[in-house]
Amino acid sequence: MIKSTAKVVLEENGEIKECFNHENESIYVPKTTKHRLVNPGRIPLELIEVQVVKYCYAMKNGKLLYRDDDHLSLDGTFELAKFLIDKIVSEPVSH
């Protein structure tokens, strides 16, 4: 957390846990854990999010493209397919 305080809500094994993350603190959220950040105050939250993944290999139009399927969102899957087709065919694919 860079600025302000965030209320962190985690759901682990069906149980809801809440904690507060203050300036200059960090928190690790495991890959499959549902989570949410809430701003309980008036000062806007400023934070840095770091994702730990095995195979992030490209970024296109501000979207991260992953090689391992469990990280691909539908949008990410489309971007990955488009990226690979563009490389193989060398002709842009329209959306």
Contacts 24+ apart (CB under 8 A), 23-31: 25/1, 26/1, 31/70
* Mean per-residue pLDDT, 72-93: 60
Report d(CA 19, CA 37) in Å as an integer.
10
Q: Which residues pair with 7 in a beta bridge?
A: 20, 38
Residue 81's pLDDT is 67
Residues 43 and 68 occupy one common structural domain: no
pLDDT band at 78 (very low <50, low <70, confident <90, very high): low
Establish if 94 belongs to a structural domain: no
Residues 3 and 41 occupy one common structural domain: yes
Burial class (CB in 10 A: 0-12, 13-18, 19+), 83: middle
Residue 20's pLDDT is 95
Q: How many domains does the chain have?
A: 2
Establish if 95 belongs to a structural domain: no
Residue 68's pLDDT is 53
Residues 8 and 40 occupy one common structural domain: yes
80 three-class SS: helix
Report d(CA 75, CA 67) in Å as an integer.
14
The model's pTM is 0.53
Element spanning 17, H or E: strand 15-21
- The model's pLDDT over 16-68, given as tens digits with 9 standing for 90+, comes to 999 999 999 988 888 788 889 999 999 999 888 877 665 555 666 766 666 55
Report d(CA 34, CA 57) in Å as an integer.
25
Amino acid at 57: Y
Which range marks the domain in which residue 7 is found?
Answer: 1-50
Residues 61 and 45 occupy one common structural domain: no
Task: Indicate whether 83 pLDDT > 60.
Answer: yes
Residues 9 and 35 occupy one common structural domain: yes
